[in-house]
Amino acid sequence: MSDAEVQATIKPVEVVNVAGSSSIVLVCEHASKHFPVTLNKLGLAPDALESHAAWDPGAMGVARRLSEVLDAALVAGTVSRLVYDCNRPPEAADAILTKSEVFDVPGNIGLSETEQRARVEAFYVPFKTTLADRIACTQAPVVVTVHSFTPVYHGKTRSVEIGILHDRDSRLADAMLDIASDNTGLTVRRNDPYGPADGVTHTLKQHALPGGYLNVMLEVRNDLIKTAAEQRHMADMIGLWLVNACLNCEAEGVIRWSA
């Protein structure tokens, strides 16, 4: 079997809570640290395979709990971001990284155009199509992406604990920041530790901005969501911010809270 054939046998995208009734559509692009078997783990060192370079540790646990309490569908990636980063368009230089922070990615060095195209077709296109379809069949959709980030990056400690990120449309982020600043002792910041200039708002730009849908990208520091209990606690907290922010934005559609 060729690489492309094996890749094709892996379900490239997962939809959790397909029957979810909420107008919120959750997205977790970096949910998985799985590697298709033929890619030989891209030649990565063992520490890299478990690191934030391969996935967003804890993010899927938070996203699953949000899906549950909001009764919202969740569209999630099923392979490592190092195979293909579904939060980047195919033309982005960092869609298939050859180095991530301090980790070399040997299996991504020297890929031919054909090999790059095969990754795009196998992983990015199905992800994009599935998410677009879900949004298209949702009344007054609200697009919310869920990520985590490492507490130490290139040797520098990050003090921000939750980042609320946006691109040109800051309506929902503004409303969440208003609520977060009143309700928590956590360090919550706008467009931190990343922002639009870093290319991280691709999903929002692709799937929310053209339709004028409310949208936000959530980044949680991964040392705060190591355990299932911490993920649940975090999801319950930011889920309430989200629901109240949607109400403050007068979002239409069904937004439930069932915790």
Nearest to 146 by CA among 202, 63, 241: 63
Tell me how far, at minimum, the Cβ of 56 lies from Zn ion, in Å.
4
How far apart, in whole angstroms, are the C-alpha atoms of residue 255 and residue 73?
A: 12
Indicate the residue among 3 and 94 with the shorter CB distance to Zn ion.
94
Indicate the residue among 193 and 239 with the shorter CB distance to Zn ion.
193
Q: Which two tokens stand for residue 147?
A: 């990520």
How far apart, in whole angstroms, are the C-alpha atoms of residue 125 and residue 97?
A: 18
How far apart, in whole angstroms, are the C-alpha atoms of residue 102 and residue 25?
A: 33
According to the binding rule CB under 5 A, does residue 33 interact with Zn ion?
no
**Identified binder of Zn ion from the candidate list 23, 30, 74, 169, rule CB under 5 A:** 30
Residues 74-103 that bind Zn ion (CB under 5 A): none
Owner of token pair 């697009």: 143
Query: x-or-dash pattern for Zn ion, window 98-137, by CB under 5 A?
Result: ----------------------------------------
> What stretches of the chain show up as alpha helix (H) in DSSP?
3-9, 46-50, 59-70, 113-119, 125-136, 171-183, 202-207, 228-248
Tell me how far, at minimum, the Cβ of 29 lies from Zn ion, in Å.
6
Decide: 130 and 15 in contact? Cβ < 8 Å: yes
According to the binding rule CB under 5 A, does residue 147 interact with Zn ion?
yes
Query: x-or-dash pattern for Zn ion, window 48-67, by CB under 5 A?
Result: --------x-----------
Span between the terminal Cα atoms of the chain, in Å: 46
Indicate the residue among 85 and 169 with the shorter CB distance to Zn ion.
85
Residues 189-248 that bind Zn ion (CB under 5 A): none
Tell me how far, at minimum, the Cβ of 55 lies from Zn ion, in Å.
8
Tell me how far, at minimum, the Cβ of 124 lies from Zn ion, in Å.
15
Decide: 147 and 103 in contact? Cβ < 8 Å: no
Tell me how far, at minimum, the Cβ of 258 lies from Zn ion, in Å.
26
User: What is the number of other CB atoms lying within 10 angstroms of the CB of residue 249?
Assistant: 15
Tell me how far, at minimum, the Cβ of 77 lies from Zn ion, in Å.
10
Q: Which stretch binds Zn ion (CB under 5 A): 16-24, 126-134, 147-155, 186-194?
A: 147-155
Contacts to Zn ion by CB under 5 A: 30, 56, 147
